[in-house]
Structure 1
Amino acid sequence: LLKFKARICVRGDLQPPSEKETYAATLAAKSFRILMALAARWDLELKQLDAVNAFPNSKLDEEVFVELPDGFKQPGVVGRLLRALYGLRRSPLLWQKLLSSILSELGLQCALEEPCLFINNWLIILFFVDDIIYIYRNSNQLQADEFRQQLSSKFRITDLGDLKWFLGIRIVRERAKRRIWLCQDSYIDNIATRFKLDQLEGSPSTPMAVEPLLPNQEQADQASIHLYQRKVGSIMYAAVITRPDIARTAALLSTFLTNPSQDHQAAANRCIQYLFGTRRRGILYDGELPATLAVYTDASFADSIPDRKSSQGYLMKLCGGPIAWKSGKQDTITTSSTEAELLALTAASKEAIATIRLFNQIQFDPADKLCIWCDNLQTIRLVNSELPRLRTALRHVDIHCN
């Protein structure tokens, strides 16, 4: 415990609907991981800042009246807000606009693929609400100090020094070997303790059992549904940040959110136990390896028993560590393994193209041309053919009966 904190918040849930925009972008986990890989590759400086009481730095652009807080109430008197207090629906967006405008004034440009990432010819800034990371070469230390002073003249900030924690992610560096690890051991400790799954002896060796999970034939009560949703939500955050090994499990558990059975509860518990037993595992970016983007894709044909849909997934690696991944069920029913593999390859290609666009915007040129790995020869033949035609004698699924 470092300090106690308190602030006055507004009941934004009681605000009447309006036509004003409320969506505020947040930093994509993929963008954060890409920058960590590049920092390992070129031994970049990673520094962190925290904007103190960030939202009230923004001025409101609409009239908002509130009941005065306890201790300040007067009969017949209400308050009009002039600043974007925490809790208002538009406060996150107003803060993002303010911070973005300040960074633009300081000579940085926003990346089109990532609205929470700004760059110039020597500095990269990325932020998640009020947590700010700035990245630069050691040779630009004086410029970085000047930038920090200019930013602190705009609003109050706390200099947290070297980047060690970010959104519950532990960042460990071995600069002599140009290595960076990302680990969520503390977060996993917390969720295992919350669900009382941290005292069990031993842990599963895999996040999911071999037996398939089937829909619940009965109706779960609200308490069970809420508990299951909390477990899966906790699992999902680890799955999308640093643990691609549970991506498939998290996607499968998410299909039963509205009506979980006891088997589903047990499967969620197993995944949390697996995470707890492997909580010190993390992602390693090795700067000694070439900065080559490698993409792997695969599909499992008609493996969903209830609807006979196929599963697909992809993994993208940079400097030896994963920067993006996804595993889930395909939207349509495919009639052959080749068709399933082709859909998986298409999804991976789209994500790879978006990643290349982000590389261009941060002025990064990968060491080699993009290479996407697929293990289906028929699919490879199709994408390399001048006149692609899907010909297969396999018809394992009758789509007219599904």
Structure 2
Amino acid sequence: MHLLVLLYVDDMIITGDNEVEISMLKNELSVRFEMKNLGEVGCFLSLEVEKSDQGYFISQKRYAEELLQHFGMGGSKEKATPMEPHLKLMKNEGQELKDAGKFRQLVGSLIYLTTTRPEIAYSVGVISQFMQNPRTSHLDAAKRILRYFKGTTNYDLLYKKESSFLLKGYTDPDWAGNANDRRSTSGYYFSVGSAAISWCSKKQPTVALSSTEAEYMAATMATQECVWLKHLMGDISGAVDYAVQIQCDNESAVRLAANPVFHARTKHIEVRHHYIREKVLDREIELKGISTLDQVADIFTKALGKAKF
């Protein structure tokens, strides 16, 4: 893994990529600021970092175990997935909870766990929609996520030592998947080399009238994230001078993004969602087709069965 230090001194960005330069930077900072060397990072804000020959492992094992004990789920039965497949939670289904505060505390804790556990992003996103008036069915769904953690507390994110650090992404929606308002859920995932660096599961702001429109809206959201990541990587390690590939499993959406004329039946799509066309034509991104079976972002848009999960 290429070691890079990024420091801000007097509004200037200074980078160092070897031990000599890093030592010089530390000396420069120690003159201006009071500093203490705490050694290599091991745990920071419940994020546990472990260095190995393969690379770096990042997890929240201890935090997940504490959650299980805090909410009385330490002896519960394990589950293979964080959410029951095809589950549709309704706003008014089940009895109202007497202690809504406990539910909100649980959901808030699970949201923090998505920092290192991208596979629960969809499940946590679903239950977080019921924070205002939670019911027993919503609490059961939240507890299932804890039962999933019961057997997977040792899962980590692995950042391997790689020679190639190309930025690549995946995007996918679940068309009209929300049973309450029929809005779709967008999901995207970006990686650099072996490393997962950005992911998201979010309900779309408007109702999509077709699966193509839902895919197109999801791809636009992924494109916005991609442009931001390109700027960030440019500030840290140099300009990203290639078209970033974003994988999409809907051919109509791919053609719509590449061909400005192909819009006879999509004129109703909001102008802001055509942002992706400009980026494709400028060759900042490349929207490519992919098989649904190889779609990584599928896990951010729906509750999958055990085998596919």
Q: TM tier, shorter chain?
A: 0.7 to 0.9
* CA spacing shift, 1:150–1:307, aligned 2, 3 Å: same
1:220 counterpart residue number = 96
| 1:238 maps to 2:113 | yes
Task: Map 1:113-128 onto structure 2 (within 5 A).
Answer: 119-122=13-16
> Cα distance, 1:370 vs. partner?
0.8
Q: Mind listing any 5+ residue stretches in structure 1 that lack a counterpart?
A: 1-40, 47-99, 110-118, 123-135, 393-402
| 1:104 maps to 2:64 | no
| 1:139 maps to 2:24 | no
| 1:197 maps to 2:73 | yes
2:31 counterpart (141, 150, 155): 150
| 1:229 maps to 2:104 | yes
Asked if the contact 1:309/1:330 (under 8 Å) is kept, the reply is yes
* CA spacing shift, 1:219–1:258, aligned 2, 3 Å: farther
> Cα distance, 1:43 vs. partner?
3.8
| 1:314 maps to 2:188 | yes
3-state SS, counterpart of residue 159 of structure 1: coil
Give the % identical residues.
28
Task: Map 1:329-348 onto structure 2 (within 5 A).
Answer: 329-348=203-222
Asked if the contact 1:45/1:138 (under 8 Å) is kept, the reply is no
Q: Distance in 2 between matches of 1:332 and 1:294?
A: 27
Asked if the contact 1:251/1:327 (under 8 Å) is kept, the reply is yes
Asked if the contact 1:244/1:325 (under 8 Å) is kept, the reply is yes
* CA spacing shift, 1:386–1:331, aligned 2, 3 Å: closer
* CA spacing shift, 1:312–1:142, aligned 2, 3 Å: closer
3-state SS, counterpart of residue 42 of structure 1: coil
Q: Distance in 2 between matches of 1:368 and 1:181?
A: 29
> Cα distance, 1:220 vs. partner?
2.6
* Post-superposition CA distance 1:35-61 (Å, at most 9, x none): xxxxxx304579xxxxxxxxxxxxxxx
Q: Number of matched residues?
A: 265
Q: Distance in 2 between matches of 1:337 and 1:272?
A: 32
Q: Distance in 2 between matches of 1:246 and 1:254?
A: 12
Q: Distance in 1 between matches of 2:59 and 2:234?
A: 28
| 1:171 maps to 2:171 | no
> Cα distance, 1:390 vs. partner?
4.8
Q: Distance in 2 between matches of 1:217 and 1:299?
A: 25
Asked if the contact 2:89/2:179 (under 8 Å) is kept, the reply is no
* Post-superposition CA distance 1:267-286 (Å, at most 9, x none): 11110121232111121111
Q: Distance in 2 between matches of 1:275 and 1:367?
A: 40
| 1:391 maps to 2:296 | no
* Post-superposition CA distance 1:150-201 (Å, at most 9, x none): 25xx34x432111111211111112x44x1111110111111111011122x
> Cα distance, 1:315 vs. partner?
0.5
| Structure 2 length-normalised TM | 0.79
Asked if the contact 2:107/2:142 (under 8 Å) is kept, the reply is yes
Q: Distance in 2 between matches of 1:197 and 1:232?
A: 15
Greater Rg over alpha carbons, structure: 1
1:294 counterpart residue number = 168
1:276 counterpart (141, 150, 156): 150
> Cα distance, 1:384 vs. partner?
0.9
* CA spacing shift, 1:161–1:390, aligned 2, 3 Å: farther
Q: Distance in 1 between matches of 2:39 and 2:264?
A: 56
Q: Alpha carbon RMSD of aligned pairs, Å?
A: 2.3
**Amino acid of the residue matched to residue 356 of structure 1?**
K
Q: Mind listing any 5+ residue stretches in structure 2 that lack a counterpart?
A: 267-309
Asked if the contact 1:284/1:321 (under 8 Å) is kept, the reply is yes
